[in-house]
Amino acid sequence: MKNPYIVDGHCDSLISFVNNDRTLNNPAEGGQWDIHRARQTGVALQFLAAFIETKYKPTRSLQRGLQLIEGAHRFIANHPDEVFLVQKKLDLDKIPDPTRLGILLSVEGGEILGEDLFILDIIFKLGVRALGLTWNQRNALAAGVGEPDTRLKLSVFGQEVVQRMNKLGMIVDVSHLNETGFWHVLEVSKDPIAATHSCAKALCEHPRNLTDQQLRALGRHKGVVGVNFYPQFLKETGVATRDDVVRHICHIAEVAGVETVGLGSDFDGIEETPDGLEQVGEYHYLQEDLIKIGFSNQEVEQIMGRNLMRLLTDVLK
């Protein structure tokens, strides 16, 4: 089959650019993701996350978040012939672009908002189109999977944020959110949501992974799960390989429907990778694996990118 275009729902490469460690356009610099390898392997759209590290929380979350967002714009401006920013539904018509890679800006962690809803409007105007409500800790919006009190739902402010995101046309990302908060988001959000970089708890018992009940609910609400490549989310013991990524894809497709599963590598946000899928240039091997085990060409296209594109079409204005 002709190689399908790829949409990756999450990578953390932006930090290394802002910290002046890498240009993100030269494979020789190392790292797990760069423009050259991404385009070479068929990535058409990359969710580029502004991950606010723990050392900046809570007092400098906004400053660090804005620094990362500014860095993303500088990165795009440095490579106008190779990347472009996706901000509205009409921009999706450019994908796949024959020469340029689409970038969708996301923020990982609602700490950037503090307790001020107007900050959401500001980062939207700066091009952010997806927001992870929490990282692992609790914030003013909700509780992450690392919060000991598992009963916590969205705060009133968190509900207001979700509702405002619906109105603006932003992806609500529930990766890292606790399970109680997950169910609350489904009650509040009128739009389909995403877990952009998560895996299946039935295959690997980790707090960051989603139960089959959560997966089915995402499917019913036309959401998407981007399978994460972090070995600790893929396999409880032993060495994780590309086969384990395939296992999670198969499980989510079986439980929630093939239209619910996508990719969310978490490249450059994970210190370890599965054998055989260690950097973005190896995505084509994953496609070959899916064909070999019996997915149709259409299903492979859905998994590799069309499901996340459909979600964006449903949500972006």
Question: pLDDT of 79-106, one tens digit each?
Answer: 999 999 999 999 999 999 999 999 999 9
Residue 182: closest CA among 194, 170, 190:
194
Q: Model's pTM, two decimal places?
A: 0.97
Taking residues 183-208, report their average pLDDT.
Answer: 99
Q: Is the peptide bond before 96 cis (omega within 30 degrees of 0)?
A: yes
CA torsion through residues 115, 116, 119, 124, sign = positive
Give the pLDDT confidence of 122-152 residue by residue, as tens digits: 999 999 999 999 999 999 999 999 999 999 9
- CA torsion 221-291-30-66 (nearest 10°) is -10
Integer Rg of the chain from CA: 18
Give the pLDDT confidence of 240-257 residue by residue, as tens digits: 999 999 999 999 999 999
Distance CA 66, CA 316 (A): 22
Rounded to the nearest 5°, which phi and psi values hold at 131? -140, 125
Query: Which residue has 């400098």 as its token pair?
Result: 60
* The pLDDT of residue 2: 56
Query: Which residue has 């002709």 as its token pair?
Result: 2
Query: Which residue has 């107007």 as its token pair?
Result: 118
74, two tokens: 């500088």
User: Does residue 283 carry a pLDDT above 60?
Assistant: yes
* The pLDDT of residue 4: 75
User: Does residue 169 carry a pLDDT above 70?
Assistant: yes
Distance CA 226, CA 149 (A): 26
User: Does residue 197 carry a pLDDT above 70?
Assistant: yes
84, two tokens: 């472009």
Taking residues 187-205, report their average pLDDT.
Answer: 99
Q: Is 180 helix (H, G, I), strand (E, B) or coil?
A: helix
- What domains lie within the chain, and their CATH numbers? 6-315 (3.20.20.140)
253, two tokens: 């497709």
User: Does residue 309 carry a pLDDT above 60?
Assistant: yes
Provide the percentage of residues in the chain whose pLDDT is more than 70. 99
220, two tokens: 């019913």
Distance CA 8, CA 150 (A): 30
* The pLDDT of residue 1: 55
User: Does residue 313 carry a pLDDT above 60?
Assistant: yes
Distance CA 173, CA 162 (A): 10
Give the pLDDT confidence of 173-184 residue by residue, as tens digits: 999 999 999 999
Taking residues 209-234, report their average pLDDT.
Answer: 99
Taking residues 215-230, report their average pLDDT.
Answer: 99
Average pLDDT, the chain: 97
Distance CA 35, CA 23 (A): 9
User: Dmax of the chain from CA atoms?
Assistant: 51
